[in-house]
Amino acid sequence: MILTAAQTKPFREDIDSNLLEHYRLVDLAVQNGAQLIAFPEMSITGYEREYAQKLAFQKDDSRLDHLRKLAVENNIVIIAGAPIQIESELFIGEFIIAPDNSVSIYTKQFLHEGEDDFFESSFDYNPMIEIENQKISFAICADLDNPLHPQNACKRKASLYIASIFFSPNGIPNAYRQLQSYAEEHQLNVLMSNFSGESWGSPSAGQSAFWNNKGELVRQMNDTDTGLLLVEYQNENWTGKVVKN
């Protein structure tokens, strides 16, 4: 089993360029045998608040068509984030695009201070998927700040917790402490994907990482590179490597 976290530098208000980067990194993940690729928070648009409404995606958005094609043709799950409009409400969400051509939506449950001026939160969109007996649950950024979130994943028998985030250099040490603690306490394997470079006019910290269910840091990226963090589960052991762009 091979999973990957993508570490990207988003182009602000340039969905087409961001999608091209998604296509390229999906192809790179496929070349390395990955069965799942996770992108950072709002990866398709870059993190936004004020411009989120005009950049918003719908559930059946045609702009997802090529990602769906890549998922089906290459038997890979693609987790890509965007502001998502559902009826009259706007959410920070992500699309879980599956090889069977289905698309599920996860919405951020616990908002960061200030996000509630632009977005709603919801517990209604909280899918789980399974790959090779690993039950996978999802999280977006400030979800990590509430211990109830990983607790609920554990109650639902998740064995793998995928966090798509936008954390700054000041915030990343705390994210590392939280994710290591959750991995150890709940016996969760944890895959985290963060931006490098700027998003929303602010620096991001990179350092996408993976912890095994003992809380051990298996592998991490640095703070500036773009590319993939690949982790493989074989003989009851996780190993990792970085594939740079």
Q: How far apart are CA 197 and CA 7, in angstroms?
A: 10
Mean pLDDT of 75-95: 99
Q: What is the pLDDT of residue 5?
A: 99
Model confidence at 194: pLDDT above 90: yes
- Among residues 226, 219, 216, the alpha carbon closest in space to that of 241 is found at 219
Q: How far apart are CA 222 and CA 175, in angstroms?
A: 15
pLDDT band with cut points at 50, 70 and 90 for residue 245: confident
Sign of the dihedral defined by the CA atoms of residues 97, 103, 104, 105, in that order? positive
Model confidence at 1: pLDDT above 90: yes
- C-beta of residue 215 within 8 angstroms of C-beta of residue 181: yes
Q: How far apart are CA 12 and CA 51, in angstroms?
A: 10
DSSP 120: B
Backbone angles phi, psi at 168, to 5 degrees: -85, 170
Q: What is the pLDDT of residue 102?
A: 98
Local structure of 232: helix, strand or coil: strand
- C-beta of residue 204 within 8 angstroms of C-beta of residue 166: yes
Q: How far apart are CA 68 and CA 99, in angstroms?
A: 8
For 162-189, the pLDDT digits (tens) are: 999 999 999 999 999 999 999 999 999 9
- Among residues 64, 28, 30, the alpha carbon closest in space to that of 45 is found at 64
- Ramachandran class of 111: left when φ > 0, alpha when ψ lies in -120 to 50, beta otherwise: beta
- Among residues 52, 197, 100, 209, the alpha carbon closest in space to that of 144 is found at 209
The predicted model scores a pTM of: 0.98
Model confidence at 242: pLDDT above 90: yes
For 33-69, the pLDDT digits (tens) are: 999 999 999 999 999 999 999 999 999 999 999 999 9
Domains of the chain: 2-244 (3.60.110.10)
For 130-150, the pLDDT digits (tens) are: 999 999 999 999 999 999 999
Q: Which residue is it, tokens 């502001």?
A: 83
